[in-house]
Structure 1
Amino acid sequence: MRVSLPRLSRLPVWQQDLVIAVGTWLFGLFFYLTGLYLIAGGPDPVPLWKRLIELTAIAGLEVIRRKVPLALILGTAVLAVDISLGLSLPIIVVYTDFLYAATLYGSKRVSRAMISVAAVSTVAVITAALVLASDWRAGVIAAVAALPFLITPVWWATNVRQHRDIAQAERANSHQLARIAELDLAAAVAEERARMARDLHDVIAGHLSAIAIQSEAALSMKDPTLAQTVLRSVRENSVHALEEMRTMVVLLKSADGSVDETTAPARLAQLSKLIDSARASGISVDVRSEVDSAALPAAVDLTAYRIAQEALTNAAKHAPGTRAVVEIRHAAGRLILEIGNELATRPKQPGGTGTGLVNMRERAAAVGGSLTAGPSDGGWLVRAELPVPGA
C-alpha cells in the first residue's frame, strides 16, 4: 500500500517550521557523528555533548524562524558561541536559514537592511580572513568559501520576496478588476432594466390608456356611426400595441440588436396614427410640422415619436375634450418638439404615477437633449429639444 506524504507547503506554518527544525537537527547530528563538521580540520578539543547542545539550541530556534528579528538575534548568539569553541559546519549551515528567513519574512525595512548587513559582513569576513590567516592564499580561499553562506541566502530570499510581492499585487489587481466587472455588470443590468421598463411603459401604457378612454367614450355614445369610428380606433390601438410588443420581443431575441423593416421602431412618419388615436379619444389636435422625418437620426426620430405619444396620451387622459397643438421644427441644429394642450374643463381621469414624465426626460437625455413640462399660457406645454447633427 502506497502512502503519500503531504507537501511541506500545504502544512500549517508551525508544522512547516517544526519539520525544518527536526530536519536541521538530524542534518547536524550526521556531521557531528561522522566527524565531518570542523571547518579548520584536525581534532576537536570540545566534547561532543557540548556540540550537540549547541546544535539542539540552534535547531530549536528554527521553530521561531519567522519571528524577525528575535530568531536572528538568538541564532547569532549561538553562532558566536560556536565561533568561540571552533567554527563548525552544521551551525553555519543552519544559521544561513536565519538570514534567509529574516530577509523573506521580515518587514520591508528589515529586508532592505539585511542586504546591507550581508554586504558589510562579507567585507568583514574577507578582511578578517586576510588578517588572521598565516598565508594570504589560505585567507583568500577561506574568504571565498565563506561568501556563499552570507550572500546566497539573502539574495535568494530577496528574489523569492519580490516574486511573492508581484504575485500578491497581481492577485489584488485581479480582485479589483473582478469587482469592477461585477459593478459594471450590475450597472448594465440596471440600465437595461430601466430601458425595458421605459419602453414597456411607452408601448403599453400609451395604447392601453387610449383604449380605456376610447372604450369609455364609446359606451356613452348613442350615435352608432360615431361609436363604430371610436371602436375602430380602439382596435387600431390594440393592433399597434401588439405590433410594438412584437418589435420589442424581436429586439430582445436578436443577437446584434438589428431589426428588419417589418419590425422597425415607430418614427415621426407614423405621427398621423397618434393624431388619429388622440382625436378618437375626444381631443382636437392641430399639427404644425416643418421637418422631414426621413432625414432625422433614428434615435432622435424614435425619441421624438415616444415623447409625442406620451404627451398626447396624457392630454387625452387629464384634459379630455380640449384642444392640443403639436409643433415640430428645426432651430440651431436641434429638433424642437412642442405639445401644448388646454387645461381640463371637466373632471379628468384618475391621476397617474408620474412615470410618463420621467420617461420623457430620460429619453431626451439619452440622445443628448432636454425636456421641460409645465403650465404655459393657461395650458400645459411639453417642450423637447433634441440635437440633430448637420441640421
Structure 2
Amino acid sequence: MTGVLIRSTRRDVLVALGSFALGALAYLLGLDRMWGSGDHASTGVRLALLGVACAGQLFRHTAPPLALAVVVAACAADTALGSSLPVTGVMIDVLHVAALDGSRRLHRVIRAAVAVITVAVVAVVAVLGDWRQSLGAGLQVFSLLIVPVWWAANIREHREGAERVARMAELDRRAAVSAERARMARDLHDVVAGHLSAIAIQSEALLSAPGKDPELVRTVLKSVRENSLRSLAEMRTMIDVLRADDPVDEPVTARLGEVGRLVESARAGGLRVGAVVGNVDGLPVAVDVAAYRIVQESLTNALKHAPRSEVSLVVERQVRRLVVVVRNPLRDGVARGTGTGLVSMAERAHAVGGSFRAGPVDGGWVVRAELPLGTAL
C-alpha cells in the first residue's frame, strides 16, 4: 500500500508541475481567456492562484478531499477575477480524479454538489438574464462539471463490476476446491477403510485357521502386504491432493482394469468370489473410478458381514450404461453395512448421473449400480 501511495505521489507531482508549466505559458501568451475574463488581476496574481491549485493537485490521489478543497478555493478566487483556462483545467482534473478514486461518500457528495451547482447556475442566469443565456450557461457548466464526474462514475461502475466478478470467481474457485477436498476425503475413507478392513479380516482368518497350510499362510500374508502398501501409497496420494491448490487426478490404479486385485484380496480373506467382468476398456474416467470404488466397498462389506461366503461379482458393459452387481448371502437374515460405505457408493453413482440400490433380495444382500456411458460424462 505504501508503494502505491509513493507511486501515486510521484505521478501527481509530475502532473502538477506539467499543469503549472502549461498554465504559465498560457498566461504569458495570452491564451488563458475564458468567458467573463477580464484584466482584473495581474499575471503574478494569476500565477499565484495557479500555484495554489497545482499544490492541491499534488494530493489528488493520496488525499482527494483535501485536494478538492484547495482547488475549489483557488478556482473560486480565479472566477471572481474572471475565469482563466489553466485554473479551470486543474479543477476539472482534480474533480474527475476525486470522483473516480475517492471514497463512496465523497463520490456521492461530488455528484450531489455538481447537480445542485448546475441547476443553480441555470436558474440564476434565467432569472437575472435571458433564458437563452441560461441554456448556454447550462451547457458550459455541463461540460466543465458534469462531464468529468459522469465519466468518472462510468469508469468507477465498470471497475467495481469487474471487482465483483473477480470476487465471485474467487468464491466459485474456493467452493470448487472445498468440494474437491470433500470428495478426496471420502475417497480416503473408502481406500483406507477397504484396505485395512481386508487386512484385519485376512489376519483374523489366518490366526483362527486350525491347520495352517504354509501355502495359505504365504498367500494371505502376501495379500496383507499388498493391501498395506497400496493403502499407504493411496493415502500419500490423497494427502498430496488435499495439500495441493490445484485439482489432481485420481490415482491411476483406481480403475476397473485393476479389479482383479480386489478379487484376489477378497479371496485371500476367505471369500469365494465368482467374478464376471466384461470389456472395461475406454470407459469414461468418472464412471471407471466410481465403478471401481463401488466394487471395492461392496467386497469389503462382504468380508465384514459375510465372511467365508460365496460372492458373485458381475460387471456388464451395455450400450449406454455400465451395470455393476455384487451379491452375497445375508447372515442371520439381518441387513448390514448401512453406514458411510453405502452412502459413499450412492454418492459416487449419483455423481456421474447413475442409480444405486443396495438391500436384501431373495435371502441375499445385493448391491446394484447403473452408471451411464453418455458423452456428457
Give the TM-score normalised by structure 1: 0.61
Confirm whether residue 157 of structure 1 aligns to residue 145 of structure 2: yes
Assess, with a 3 A threshold, how the Cα gap between structure 1 residues 341 and 120 changes in structure 2: closer, same or farther: farther
Q: Is the 8 A contact 1:210 1:281 kept in 2?
A: yes
Q: Is the 8 A contact 2:125 2:137 kept in 1?
A: no
Paired AA for residue 287 in structure 2: V
Paired AA for residue 325 in structure 1: S
Deviation at 1:242, TM superposition (A): 4.1
Paired AA for residue 372 in structure 1: R
Q: How does 1:1-391 map to 2 (within 5 A)?
A: 7=58, 9=60, 10-11=62-63, 13=65, 16-17=68-69, 20-21=72-73, 24-25=76-77, 28=80, 31=81, 105-106=111-112, 114=119, 117=122, 121=126, 125=130, 149-225=137-213, 226-245=216-235, 264-289=252-277, 291-345=278-332, 354-389=339-374
SS at match of 1:294: coil
SS at match of 1:340: strand
Paired AA for residue 191 in structure 1: A
Q: Deviations over 1:142-190 (max 9, x none)?
A: x7xx986553222222211221221221232133113202211211211
Deviation at 1:194, TM superposition (A): 1.6
Of 6-15 and 274-283, deviating more is: 6-15
SS at match of 1:374: strand
SS at match of 2:189: helix
Whole-angstrom distance in 2 between the partners of 1:150 and 1:298: 68
Q: Deviations over 1:294-348 (max 9, x none)?
A: 2433432232121101110011112223332111223451111011211124999
Assess, with a 3 A threshold, how the Cα gap between structure 1 residues 331 and 352 changes in structure 2: closer, same or farther: closer
Assess, with a 3 A threshold, how the Cα gap between structure 1 residues 223 and 122 changes in structure 2: closer, same or farther: farther
Assess, with a 3 A threshold, how the Cα gap between structure 1 residues 183 and 246 changes in structure 2: closer, same or farther: closer
Assess, with a 3 A threshold, how the Cα gap between structure 1 residues 120 and 322 changes in structure 2: closer, same or farther: farther
Q: Matched residue pairs, number?
A: 295
Q: Is the 8 A contact 2:323 2:371 kept in 1?
A: yes
Deviation at 1:229, TM superposition (A): 3.2
**Superposition RMSD on alpha carbons, in Å?**
4.5
Assess, with a 3 A threshold, how the Cα gap between structure 1 residues 120 and 382 changes in structure 2: closer, same or farther: farther
Whole-angstrom distance in 1 between the partners of 2:108 and 2:128: 20
Whole-angstrom distance in 2 between the partners of 1:296 and 1:18: 72
Whole-angstrom distance in 1 between the partners of 2:117 and 2:365: 75
Assess, with a 3 A threshold, how the Cα gap between structure 1 residues 254 and 276 changes in structure 2: closer, same or farther: farther
Whole-angstrom distance in 1 between the partners of 2:328 and 2:69: 85
Deviation at 1:208, TM superposition (A): 1.0
Whole-angstrom distance in 2 between the partners of 1:102 and 1:328: 68
Assess, with a 3 A threshold, how the Cα gap between structure 1 residues 111 and 177 changes in structure 2: closer, same or farther: farther
Deviation at 1:12, TM superposition (A): 7.0
Q: Is the 8 A contact 1:297 1:388 kept in 2?
A: yes
SS at match of 2:210: coil
Deviation at 1:203, TM superposition (A): 2.3
Q: Deviations over 1:78-128 (max 9, x none)?
A: xxxxxxxxxxxxxxxxxxxxxxx99963289x579849948994996376x
Assess, with a 3 A threshold, how the Cα gap between structure 1 residues 304 and 370 changes in structure 2: closer, same or farther: same
Identity of aligned residues (%): 42
Whole-angstrom distance in 2 between the partners of 1:228 and 1:384: 35
Whole-angstrom distance in 2 between the partners of 1:27 and 1:331: 87
Paired AA for residue 174 in structure 2: A
Q: Deviations over 1:169-225 (max 9, x none)?
A: 123213311320221121121122123212222322211110011112222223221
Whole-angstrom distance in 2 between the partners of 1:155 and 1:5: 24
Assess, with a 3 A threshold, how the Cα gap between structure 1 residues 102 and 187 changes in structure 2: closer, same or farther: closer
Residue ranges of structure 1 left out of the alignment (5+ in a row): 38-65, 67-100, 128-142
SS at match of 1:224: coil
Q: Is the 8 A contact 1:121 1:150 kept in 2?
A: no
Whole-angstrom distance in 1 between the partners of 2:128 and 2:321: 80
Whole-angstrom distance in 1 between the partners of 2:349 and 2:234: 20
Paired AA for residue 336 in structure 1: V
Assess, with a 3 A threshold, how the Cα gap between structure 1 residues 371 and 111 changes in structure 2: closer, same or farther: farther
Paired AA for residue 172 in structure 2: D
